[in-house]
Amino acid sequence: SEPSDDEKNIDEPENNSENTAPHTQKYVKALIMIISLIFIIPTTIFFINKNRDIGIIGDVDGDKLINSNDASKVLVYYSQSSTGKSIDEKEIKKCDVNNDGRIDSNDASLILAYYAYASTKGGITPEEYFKKNF
């Protein structure tokens, strides 16, 4: 005779869809994680490289110094943009030290002010100086 329901081993799993759900959930979570990483890692690398390509904000000529040459170059770009000539986006980001979306004499003045500050006191990065003083 067959064992009654009370006599059956309750630890023995039955073959139904409820028992596969925990395994399926693990696989779905793992799949979501993998897909997320596929999209997150390249995006992060893009933004890191994009910022690295810009160089030092205010170092318009790329010589790793911020000085009057950079301020002069900002004024050249300012005159070019005033006449409608397009300027490379990287150059705009290096020149627009006050981050107002324009290249103008205010940016050149701020670069000269940082040059004077760095020549006498120094102490903070150009980015910190530009944020603090505009």
For residue 15, give both structure tokens.
């073959």
CATH 3.40.50.1970 corresponds to the domain 56-132? no
Burial class (CB in 10 A: 0-12, 13-18, 19+), 97: buried
pLDDT at 104: 94
The token pair that represents 110 in the structure block: 């701020």
Q: Where are the domains of the chain?
A: 20-54, 56-132
Beta strands in the chain (DSSP E): none
Q: Which 8-state DSSP code applies to residue 11? A: T
pTM of the model: 0.59
Per the model's pLDDT, the better-predicted residue between 37 and 133 turns out to be 133
The pLDDT of residue 98 = 93
Tens digits of residue pLDDT in 90-128 = 888 999 999 998 999 999 999 999 999 888 887 888 889
- First and final CA of the chain: distance in angstroms? 90
Q: How far apart are CA 134 and CA 131, in angstroms?
A: 6
Residue among 100, 87, 21 nearest 60 (CA): 87
pLDDT attached to residue 70? 94
**HSE-CB for 89 with a 13 A CA cutoff:** 3
Cα separation values, 114 from 26, 67, 70, Å = 55, 8, 11
Alpha-carbon distance 5 to 18, whole Å? Answer: 19
Tens digits of per-residue pLDDT, 18-77? 555 666 777 777 777 666 556 554 444 444 334 445 688 999 999 988 999 999 999 999
